[in-house]
Amino acid sequence: MSLSNKLSKILIIDFGSQFTQLIARRIRELGVFSEIVSHKKVNIKNILQENISGIILSGGPLNVYQNNKFKFEKKILKLGIPILGICFGHQILSKELGGSVKKSNYREFGLATITKISNSILTKDFFNKNNVSNVWMSHADQVSKMPTGFKIVASTKNSKLTIIENSKTNFYGVQFHPEVTHTPKGKILLRNFLFLICKMKKNWSSRDQKLKLINEIKQQVGENKVICGLSGGVDSSVVAQLLSKAIGKKLTCIFVNNGLLRKNEEFQVVNTFKKKLKMNLIYVNAEKEFIKKLTNVSDPEKKRKIIGNLFIKIFERYARKIKNVKFLAQGTLYPDLIESKSVTGSQSSKIKSHHNVGGLPKRMKLKLVEPLKFLFKDEVRKLGLELNLSSDIISRHPFPGPGLAIRMPGIITNEKIKILKEADYYFVKALRDHDLYHKIWQAYAALLPVKTVGVMGDNRTYEHICLLRAITSEDGMTADFYDFPKGFMQLVSNQIINNISGINRVVYDVTSKPPSTIELE
Ligand code: XMP
């Protein structure tokens, strides 16, 4: 029996919401283990064998009367396990218990204020002293008739049945999304569900996570060998260390220098992993191969695909040299996954092909080990500390797989790479020197594909624009630009222009995500 079967947990039944992973994350943040299962795969026998203390029904894009498009296992209503329905989950729970759902006269998207109607254990500490709370809504349908045995806990102006409960059966429904940060007290509501209604005890920490992941890697890999694409960033470093703990010398890390790394990165990676951590590490200098393949390519998606495919080709080339290699380990994170293709196969529109996911060749010969694919960046960082990786590695800003290629819109040339590496170096150095590096989630320099006129000394210049981007974020899915004091920007701009030939103008990107993305391509 796996560790996850023994642990008391919350089962989240996913109906395709883009926030399902956030529900799992919030629950884990509250110190409780949670697992997600697609609505299509709910199996009552498994539920009975496992130690499930509560069930959450997620939101989703469908209407509850589109019965042929989703599966609802009615038997879960007879198990005596507390259930919390969120958004679509609230609607389907209500419908299945005899209520009805209809299109709302007023669709509610975004912030809404809900008012307390009656006391509930679910909403302990959730309302302010005026009996209201702000929540985040995203629905077009609403519950129009309450199921028998339920009472109203809270309403909005437009939707009477915003929170309902049946405290005898321990069934609860909320029309809004408590899992998103825009519902400021959403976590309190989830906390009440876990600890007051499901009566759970804390059982989930970075240490538990580490043990579970190591266990799963052992089971997946068996006696086979694994190669791990190491980039030196937080994610792949944590993956390498996890694998090293799970399978020891059956792991070989391959570090590919694609020529699109930050300045001196290759030396730092070899030094840390080969010399300090004593891992099996193969250093591959493939600078020329990458640059040749990228010649004259300016389309962002093409760049990503070329880089992703070439990475895999090189891994496979080296894998062939080591006997019994069946797996390739990657540091794919949850945000990489949902922005390329939803975990449940539901309709999240494609924004970019992150090279860990979208760029993989269709007929890849190695199977993937992706132990971090359900984790967010901050969870990975905590896990890294638990794995004794140095805080220097753990607190590094994220760096994308395609590297500087996607920070250089237009075609890629050796000259541009050289200029960009220097600009990035000066920017990041200034952040460190001014104690700003750790206040920022990610920062980088980019080179724009336009030249502008400047004047240096008494001479006209006609050179590149360097764009600086620095953002704050929780998990990379949304971001705000960092508001530097004016003096700092002037200083960095001077340092870049005075030290690097090829740049005569520095601009700062003040867009958030959305509407922009963090990277330029
Ligand atoms: P975007 O630009 O999509 O970036 O807002 C979100 C986060 O993901 C990183 N990123 C990548 N990471 N492979 C990666 O491993 C990729 O292809 C990739 N593209 C973007 C980006 O740096 C930011 O942290």
The string of DSSP codes covering 365-391 is SSEEE-TTTT--HHHHHHHHHHTT--H
The reported pLDDT for the residue numbered 7 is 77
Respond yes or no: is residue 434 known to be catalytic.
Answer: no
- Sequence-distant (6+) residues with CB within 8 A of 206 are 379, 382, 383, 385, 386
| Rounded CA separation 411/393 (Å) | 31
| Rounded CA separation 327/320 (Å) | 12
Q: Using most ligand atoms within 8 A of CB, pick from 235, 406, 471, 519 the residue to mutate for ligand 1.
A: 519
- DSSP character string of 331-351: ---HHHHHHHS-TTS--PPP-
Residue 350 to residues 15, 44, 353, Cα–Cα distance (Å): 19, 33, 8
- Sequence-distant (6+) residues with CB within 8 A of 278 are none
- For 366, phi then psi, to 5°, come to -95, 145
- Tokens standing for 269? 């990676």
Q: Give the residue from 156, 162, 143, 43 showing the smallest Cα distance to 93.
A: 143
Respond yes or no: is residue 177 known to be catalytic.
Answer: yes
Q: Using most ligand atoms within 8 A of CB, pick from 336, 406, 473 the residue to mutate for ligand 1.
A: 336
- For 481, phi then psi, to 5°, come to -75, 150
CB 284 within 8 A of CB 261: no
Q: Which of 39, 139, 177, 464 is catalytic?
A: 177
pLDDT by position in tens, the chain (length 521): 344 556 799 999 999 998 898 899 899 999 998 988 999 999 999 999 999 999 999 999 999 999 889 999 999 999 999 999 999 999 999 999 999 999 887 777 889 999 999 999 999 999 999 999 999 998 889 999 999 999 999 999 888 999 999 999 999 999 999 999 889 999 999 999 999 999 999 998 999 889 989 999 999 999 999 999 888 889 999 999 999 999 999 999 999 999 999 999 999 999 989 998 899 999 999 999 999 999 999 999 999 999 999 988 887 888 788 888 899 898 888 767 655 444 444 434 455 665 554 444 445 578 999 999 878 788 899 999 999 999 888 999 989 989 999 999 999 999 999 999 999 999 999 999 999 999 999 999 999 999 999 999 899 999 999 999 999 997 787 899 999 988 999 999 999 999 999 999 999 999 999 899 999 99
- DSSP character string of 172-239: EEESS-TTSTTSTTHHHHHHIIIIIIS-------HHHHHHHHHHHHHHHHTT-EEEEE--SSHHHHHH
Helix (H, G, I), strand (E, B) or coil at 291: helix
Spell out the SS3 assignment of 93-134: HHHHCCCEEEEEEEEEEEEEEEEECCCCHHHCCCCCCCCEEE
Amino acid identity, position 490: Q
The reported pLDDT for the residue numbered 318 is 81
Long-range contacts of 244-247 (CB under 8 A, 24+ apart): 244/277, 244/279, 245/210, 245/214, 245/387, 246/213, 246/214, 246/215, 246/217, 246/218, 246/221, 247/217, 247/218, 247/221
Q: Give the residue from 166, 189, 204 showing the smallest Cα distance to 80.
A: 166
Q: Specify the pairing of strand 100-116 against strand 151-155.
A: antiparallel
304 C-alpha to center of ligand 1: Å? Answer: 11
- Tokens standing for 278? 């004593």
The reported pLDDT for the residue numbered 334 is 73
> Does any ligand 1 atom lie closer than 6 A to the CB of residue 89?
no
Is the whole model's pTM more than 0.85, yes or no? no
230 C-alpha to center of ligand 1: Å? Answer: 16
The reported pLDDT for the residue numbered 455 is 94
Respond yes or no: is residue 397 known to be catalytic.
Answer: no
- Is the dihedral angle over the CA atoms 374, 376, 377, 378 positive or is it negative? negative
Residue whose CA lies nearest to ligand 1 atom number 6: 476
> Does any ligand 1 atom lie closer than 6 A to the CB of residue 354?
yes
Residue whose CA lies nearest to ligand 1 atom number 16: 354
Residue whose CA lies nearest to ligand 1 atom number 18: 400
Q: Look up tokens 């059982």; give the residue.
A: 203
| Closest ligand 1 atom number to CA of residue 331 | 15
| Rounded CA separation 103/101 (Å) | 7
CB 99 within 8 A of CB 143: yes
DSSP 8-class letter at 16: S
- Is the dihedral angle over the CA atoms 237, 243, 249, 252 positive or is it negative? negative
- For 297, phi then psi, to 5°, come to -95, 125
The reported pLDDT for the residue numbered 475 is 74
Q: Which of 108, 165, 179, 386 is catalytic?
A: 179
- Tokens standing for 255? 């570090």
Q: By CB neighbour count within 10 A (0-12 exposed, 13-18 middle, 19+ buried), where does 516 fall?
A: middle
413 C-alpha to center of ligand 1: Å? Answer: 22
Helices (H) and strands (E) in the chain, counts: 15, 18
